[in-house]
């Protein structure tokens, strides 16, 4: 048996990088029977068959797993946002960050198009939050080296509204990226926005980004119930204060003696972050297990 990581899944094959080579593998039938399929990003044990082929025999425990993109062990979610058109709503950032926190996934916020608009307001909010924030420009190259350092040694998934500059940033990181995307579209004979296959794009030793044309944001619906249960924990900047709330089980929405509200009032927690929390709280509060 040899250990490797699945870098691509296509047409029933898993492409496993063992460090020395990439093996084209089928998965054992037991995975299907157990209702658990290997995913891109998985660390696996492979039995070699020779001729560059093998069988995936076992999947190592995962840090996390997602349906869209269909991938596992995502270390970091890079949210691309912009203060220039199309302007990003902080609520979108906060909602995606909450899901990421739920999934043990670090968040890096990249404020792009800083050549057009320095994004002072968004930068102000997030430099005072628990979310790491970078100002970049895919056009001038500002912040791209810093972004590259933040990606090193991790598997990162990029997300953001269409038009914020996701592809431009990935191309600025490595021009081979657009070639890779182009090839895939041609090979499958479809436009890049309908492509279903998932592939890790290597940016160096142990450094990957998810090259998934066509996914715009994390699929969140099935996570809503879990999010409802753990909402306060997904806003890490609340953590230092929750112990000070007067009531056990304080919802941090309107209670007297709520230490989180007090921290917001004193400017220790960005108001915009708490506003997103309230909006999420209200959206999720009537959700039931059978919904
Ligand atoms: P995507 O839909 O998120 O992949 O966005 P694209 O990378 O296709 O970029 C959308 C548009 O914004 C294109 O016209 C890009 O040239 C432009 N754009 C992307 N990044 C920047 C940037 O940093 N500065 C400026 N001025 N324009 C940018
Ligand atoms: Zn409270």
Cα-to-centroid distance, 145 and ligand 2 (Å): 40
Any ligand 1 atom below 6 A from CB of 111: no
The answer to whether residue 261 is domain-embedded is yes
Q: For position 252, which CATH number holds?
A: 1.10.40.50
Any ligand 1 atom below 6 A from CB of 166: yes
Any ligand 1 atom below 6 A from CB of 165: yes
Contact 98, 231 (CB under 8 A): yes
The answer to whether residue 124 is domain-embedded is yes
Least confident segment among 11-15, 52-56, 157-161, 176-180? 176-180
CA separation for the pair 42, 37 (Å, rounded): 10
Structural domain total, the chain: 3
Neighbours of ion ligand 2 (CB under 5 A): 245, 250, 252, 258, 260
Please check whether residues 127 and 82 belong to one and the same domain: yes
Please check whether residues 230 and 181 belong to one and the same domain: no
- Which ligand ends up closest to the CA of 83? 1
- pLDDT-based confidence at 180, cuts 50/70/90? low
- pLDDT-based confidence at 182, cuts 50/70/90? low
Cα-to-centroid distance, 79 and ligand 2 (Å): 28
Any ligand 1 atom below 6 A from CB of 161: no
Nearest CA to ligand 1 atom 27: 113
Please check whether residues 124 and 253 belong to one and the same domain: no
Any ligand 1 atom below 6 A from CB of 163: yes
Please check whether residues 103 and 17 belong to one and the same domain: no
Q: For position 22, which CATH number holds?
A: 2.40.50.140
Q: DSSP letters along 143-194, please?
A: THHHHHHHHTTSEEEEE--TTSSHHHHHHHH-THHHHHHHHHHHHHTS-TTT
> What does the pLDDT average to over 242-257?
96
Percent of the chain whose predicted confidence (pLDDT) is above 70: 89
Any ligand 1 atom below 6 A from CB of 135: no
Q: For position 78, which CATH number holds?
A: 3.40.50.300
Q: Which residues span the domain enclosing 41?
A: 2-59
The answer to whether residue 216 is domain-embedded is no
Please check whether residues 78 and 175 belong to one and the same domain: yes
How does pLDDT run across 83-113, given as a tens digit for each residue?
999 999 999 999 989 989 999 999 999 999 9
How does pLDDT run across 22-43, given as a tens digit for each residue?
999 999 888 888 888 999 999 9
CA separation for the pair 148, 185 (Å, rounded): 26
Please check whether residues 196 and 132 belong to one and the same domain: yes
In ligand 1, the atom with minimum distance to the C-alpha of 160 is: 3
Q: 3-state SS of 185-201?
A: HHHHCCCCCCCCCEEEE
The answer to whether residue 39 is domain-embedded is yes
Please check whether residues 129 and 52 belong to one and the same domain: no
Please check whether residues 27 and 119 belong to one and the same domain: no
CA separation for the pair 170, 38 (Å, rounded): 26
């Amino acid at each position: 048996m040899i250990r490797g990581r699945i870098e691509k899944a296509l047409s029933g094959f898993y492409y496993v990088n063992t460090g020395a080579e990439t093996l084209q593998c089928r998965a054992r039938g037991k995975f299907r029977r157990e209702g658990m399929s290997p995913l891109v990003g998985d660390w696996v044990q492979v039995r070699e068959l020779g001729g560059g082929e093998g069988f995936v025999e076992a999947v190592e425990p995962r840090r996390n797993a997602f349906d869209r993109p269909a991938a596992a062990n995502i270390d970091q979610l890079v949210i691309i946002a912009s203060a220039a058109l199309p302007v990003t709503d902080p609520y979108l950032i906060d909602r995606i960050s909450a899901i990421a926190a739920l999934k043990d996934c670090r968040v890096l916020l990249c404020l792009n198009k800083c050549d057009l608009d320095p994004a002072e307001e968004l930068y102000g909010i997030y430099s005072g939050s628990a979310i790491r924030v970078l100002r970049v420009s895919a056009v001038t190259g500002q912040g791209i080296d810093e972004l590259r350092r933040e990606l090193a040694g991790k598997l990162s998934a990029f997300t953001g509204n269409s038009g914020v500059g996701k592809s431009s940033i990935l191309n600025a990181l490595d021009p081979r990226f657009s070639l890779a995307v182009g090839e895939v579209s041609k090979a499958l004979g479809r436009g890049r926005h309908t492509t279903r296959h998932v592939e890790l794009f290597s940016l160096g030793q142990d450094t990957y980004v998810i090259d998934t044309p066509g996914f715009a944001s994390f699929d969140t619906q099935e996570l809503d119930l879990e999010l409802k249960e753990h909402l306060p924990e997904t806003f890490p900047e609340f953590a230092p204060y929750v112990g000070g709330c007067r009531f056990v089980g304080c919802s941090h929405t309107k209670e007297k003696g709520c230490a989180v509200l007090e921290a917001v009032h004193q400017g220790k927690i960005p108001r915009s972050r708490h506003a997103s929390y309230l909006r999420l709280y209200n959206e999720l509060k009537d959700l039931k297990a059978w919904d």
